[in-house]
Amino acid sequence: MARKKKEENINTNPLADNVHIQGAGTVKDEHIIETLKSNYMPYAMSVILSRAIPEIDGFKPSHRKLLYTMYLMNLLQGKTIKSANIVGRTMQLNPHGDASIYETMIRLSRGNESLLYPYVESKGNFGKAYSRNMMYAASRYTEAKLAPISKELFEDINKDTVDFVDNYDNTMKEPTLLPVTFPSILANVTTGIAVGMASSIASFNLGELCDTTIALIKNPDHDVSETLLAPDFVGGGYIIYDKAELDKIYSTGRGSVKVRAKYKYDKSYNCIDITEIPPTTTSEAIIDKIVELVKSNKVKELSDIRDETDLKGLRITLDLKRGTDPDALMTKLYKLTPLEDVFSCNFNVLIKGTPKVLGVKEILNEWIEFRVECVRRKTQFTLDRKAQRLHLLEGLKKILLDIDKAIKIIRETEAEAEVVPNLMIGFGIDKVQAEYVAEIKLRHLNREYILKRTNDIENLKKDIEALDAILQSKNKQKKIIIKELNDVSEKYSGDRKSEILYEFEEFDASAAAEIPDYPVTLFITKEGYLNKIRTANLRMSGEQKVKEGDSVEKVFECSNKDEILAFTDKAQVYKAKVDDFADSKASQLGTFVASKLEMESNEKVIFICVVREYKGYMIFAFENGKVAKVDIGAYQTKTNRKKLINAYSSKCPLSCIEYIEEDCELVLCSTNGRMLILNTGALSPKTTKDTIGVSVMTQKKNCRLESMHFYKEGEFEKAWRFRTKNLPAAGALPGPADNTDQITF
């Protein structure tokens, strides 16, 4: 596949030829693969290698540049300084703008509470990771310095432990990695999205991490799950222990960890205080979700919810209704809200410039290899320095044999350039030693000074011998690493913040709290409002309030546990529990049913019935005189479906709907004035909701079945006239003695 590029030379001014782009106006064939390689791949590799994916020292380049700048500013000691000052200095290494640098500092700070072991001590408002609304102050207002644990990031950095490269303008050097003395890659949460790949590394307790690393150094076959219990997050909470999932993370680097919020119940105020939440959510997201559940009537045990977060820390308060079981409610909220969330692990790390997804054991082995190399380079650097020092002191020792001779050689040498060669000849020393002797101050040309210096020779020889032994033995190098890990663990590790739950209760929807059973009265108006009033309170209520122009159409006496079926003009039925509607008062309008059941905007409720047990039949009368008898069980569902389509046949306009618990007599009325008494027992029940029914009342031309109502004894003087043995039938016209004026539809 090839892409053609054509650039037309539209310039007509010959004087402008000198500004033409070279090759303009030519047609060039270029393969799309080559275009991707030359244009897109460099960008993708830059994002992967220089921005989003952390390296074995646990840092992305932006983190490393900031921390190293703070180290050069001597911020390991002393007081905090303005963040704006640090940000400005960091731009010598990171030219991508002050905003991104400051945001990097925010995340590394103790005040933001993003990291389990923060590297920056903060002063001022650095925002909170657990809140999207608590924003940080501008860099000109806040102050910062390096935290004590940051000392472990730069240990022996000036002893050639890591490589240095030029910064972007070649004015200073910066480290490619930091010689961290503990596995910082697994000590703090690190996330990043690159091109075509991402990284999400969980944090672990430093004590457990150091113990596991030491165990791996001593025994490469060590099972990391024995010492590394589970991830540990700065926000605390509960870790849901799942051995199979943890083993998967430890071995492959992929998997997920369930984290639950931690709470305590205050009996005196009958409220729940949530103080620790999962690291993947915020307090606002939790509150929004709980409010949504309360509004949808899925959570009814709460009377109020408040965010009481202050300087002491996070706190979300849930006020409970009387009689609510706090533990049962929280089990339910764990299932329905982000109070229980999943931290997805994808341990993608840059190893020697190559992104690799590694398990915990593999990452620790890579870190051990990296740290062994750091120790080797430091040892070699120290050995070289001591060897140079020994070499100089051995030359100085020869001067001790005859100080006067050295002075005489220097004094009698006419040219300054000849001093060093003459000393070399006079004492049998090399040029470096002679230069050292020649630079000694006159005040130091005494036996006491020279003896003190030469006394160090034996100590240097012992040190060099010990350092050489370390270089020759990997075991000794590993012993140094073990000692460093023990020191770090002793200084900085603490108790776990995330408690491990080995036994826990899962929310079971089928075993959800029982809906309270008490008698209620439902008032349904013509315009579709439903008002639910406890029957016990009905006597104390006044007249039912309705909107102007509206009136109460139906009244149901039922239980709070019953279900409501609302049929609409779109041949659909919406289901709800009576309990879904809040208890109200006669002085209130009630709930608009169409809105509560989330009906379509142009949909209208035409019939509502209340069902306790799905026994009985739905009777649908159509304008063409047909009547359908549908078993009410056809509307029963095992799941909590709110909407059923094809609730009745839409092939003919619907005239009327009735719900009957058992067979009875109904009166059908036609527009031509005829009436027919129908015994529903004469109709065979169907289980198909949208059945077209059977012909019951024949209609003359331009006539239609208009209405249907329950037959009342005494309604007709001669009821036999309106009954028929065979269906369909035309019915009869009522006489003057028939009580048709009292019919209510």
Q: Which residue has the tokens 């509307």?
A: 635
Per-residue pLDDT of 161-170, as tens digits, reads: 999 999 999 9
| Helix, strand counts (H, E) of the chain | 17, 34
Q: CB-side exposure of 428: number of CA atoms within 13 Å?
A: 5
C-alpha angle with apex 339: 334 to 344, nearest 5 degrees?
Answer: 100
Task: Give CA–CA dist 576/605, Å, rounded.
Answer: 14
pTM of the predicted model as reported, rounded to 2 decimal places: 0.72
Query: Which residues, other chains included, contact 347 with Cβ-Cβ below 8 Å and sequence gap of 6+?
Result: 199, 200, 201, 249, 253, 254, 357, 358, 359, 360, 363
* Short-list 374, 361, 364, 358, CA closest to 53: 358
**pLDDT (0 to 100) of residue 5:** 39
Q: For residue 635, what are its two tokens?
A: 């509307």
* Short-list 92, 157, 153, 91, CA closest to 120: 153
Task: Give CA–CA dist 418/424, Å, rounded.
Answer: 10
**pLDDT (0 to 100) of residue 43:** 85
Describe the strand order of the beta sheet including 605-611 as a list of residue ranges: 605-611, 563-568, 573-577, 643-644
**pLDDT (0 to 100) of residue 11:** 44
Torsion of CA 174, 175, 176, 177, to 10 degrees: -150
The enclosing H or E element of 250 equals helix 243-252
**pLDDT (0 to 100) of residue 596:** 87
Query: Which residues, other chains included, contact 148 with Cβ-Cβ below 8 Å and sequence gap of 6+?
Result: 491, 492
C-beta separation of 420 from 350 below 8 A: no
Q: Which portions of the chain are predicted below pLDDT 50? A: 1-18, 510-512, 742, 744-745
Q: Do the strands 654-660 and 694-695 form a parallel or antiparallel pair, or are they unpaired?
A: unpaired
Q: Which residue has the tokens 């005196």?
A: 268
Task: Give CA–CA dist 332/317, Å, rounded.
Answer: 16
End-to-end, the C-alpha distance of the chain in Å comes to 74
**pLDDT (0 to 100) of residue 740:** 65
The residue from 141, 168, 269, 518 that is catalytic is 141
C-beta separation of 435 from 388 below 8 A: no
614 is catalytic: no
Q: Do the strands 563-568 and 340-346 form a parallel or antiparallel pair, or are they unpaired?
A: unpaired
The CB density around residue 431, as the number of other CB atoms within 10 Å, is: 12
Query: Which residues, other chains included, contact 564 with Cβ-Cβ below 8 Å and sequence gap of 6+?
Result: 530, 575, 576, 577, 578, 608, 609, 610, 611
Q: Do the strands 271-276 and 316-320 form a parallel or antiparallel pair, or are they unpaired?
A: antiparallel
Q: CB-side exposure of 540: number of CA atoms within 13 Å?
A: 7
* Short-list 154, 297, 302, CA closest to 583: 297
b/e sequence 250-271, b meaning 16+ C-beta within 10 Å: bbbbebbbbbbbbbebeeeebb
Alpha helix positions (H), 493-563: 535-538
Q: Which residue has the tokens 């996070």?
A: 314
Alpha helix positions (H), 25-91: 32-35, 41-47, 61-72, 83-90
* Short-list 618, 619, 610, 627, CA closest to 693: 627
**pLDDT (0 to 100) of residue 586:** 83
